[in-house]
Amino acid sequence: MSPPLYVRWSHEGSTNISDSDSEEEPKLPLNHFYPYIRCALCCGFLIDATTITECLHTFCKSCIVKHFFYSNRCPTCNIVVHQTQPLYNIRPDRQLQDIVYKMVPFLEEFEREQVCNFYKDRGLEVPKPVVVSPPCPVVLKRQKKENIPPSVFTIPPELDVSLLLEFVGAEEGINNYKPLERRYVRVSGEATVRHVELFIRRKMELSSTCQVDVVCGDHLLDHFQALKDIQNSVGEEALQDGLLVLHFGLVLPSQS
């Protein structure tokens, strides 16, 4: 069995990995730092460390992106990251990633090898590493406000209703459908329940014989009702964290 790994702290503030034989400086087992250098979603060491700006919890980039397909809350503290676009509020944490690579031996080399194998197995060109150029002298210039590009994350004002689509189940006999992966949708308030039904049908690949019933609160909605009117009439009891909650189920058409 190989000896346990320790993190040795030097007086200059840098970290080094050493075996248990060295007694020059104070050292701690690497597993003491696991809560700070491992991802809470995959339980592996952080890769492409990405931090949520609202609560500063950090995860692997691929893990947190997949998580936001199904939820808009932080996996650790459960706060709402963003009502409709949680990916807007995450940022790469390069300093933490550098610390992880320095503390875990061979992790960076192993990850680089994994990336190369991924591209080679698919016959794709391996991306070249980014070369960081030395900093140049900064020349301050006054810029006119009209030359500043608008934010790429600006949400169009006409998309003024945020939906949370909750699937409540399907009637017995309805089996061939896909799960709805995108439960959070931002749409125009002029859209109707019929538009929501068509969205659900396309995403879940429903057959034409299947009927979609949409409910808000205790009200079964008609196809012609506009979402803005529903939100105004039902009130706060139909909202959750600012989202209009619509429950829907799959039923067989009634036979007269």
Domains of the chain from N-terminus onward: 31-121 (3.30.40.10), 160-251 (3.10.20.90)
Q: Write the DSSP symbol of residue 238.
A: G
Q: In which band, very low, low, confident or very high, does the pLDDT at 95 lie, cut at 50, 70 and 90?
A: very high
- Residue 40: what pLDDT? 93
Which range in 73-77, 132-136, 137-141 is most confidently predicted, on average pLDDT? 73-77
- Residue 42: what pLDDT? 93
Residue burial 49-88, b: 16+ Cβ < 10 Å; e: rest: bbbbeeeebbbbbebbeebbeeebbbbeeeebbbebebee
What is the mean predicted confidence (pLDDT) over 143-153? 51
Residue 177 CB coordination number (10 Å): 17
Residue 18 CB coordination number (10 Å): 15
Report the amino acid identity of residue 194: R
Tokens of 62: 């691929």
Minimum mean pLDDT among 64-78, 156-170, 185-199, 222-236: which range? Answer: 156-170
Distance CA 64, CA 72 (A): 10
Contacts of 240-244 with C-beta under 8 Å, sequence gap 24+, read 240/164, 241/72, 241/80, 241/83, 242/83, 242/162, 243/83, 243/84, 243/162, 243/163, 243/164, 243/184, 244/161, 244/162, 244/163, 244/164, 244/216
- Residue 153: what pLDDT? 47
Residue 15 in this model has a pLDDT that exceeds 90: no
169 torsion bin: left (phi>0), alpha (psi -120 to 50), beta (else):
left
- Residue 9: what pLDDT? 55
| Chain-centre distance for alpha carbon 213 | 29
Distance CA 243, CA 30 (A): 43
Tokens of 100: 């992880």
Decide if 161 contacts 231 (C-beta within 8 A): yes
Report the amino acid identity of residue 100: V
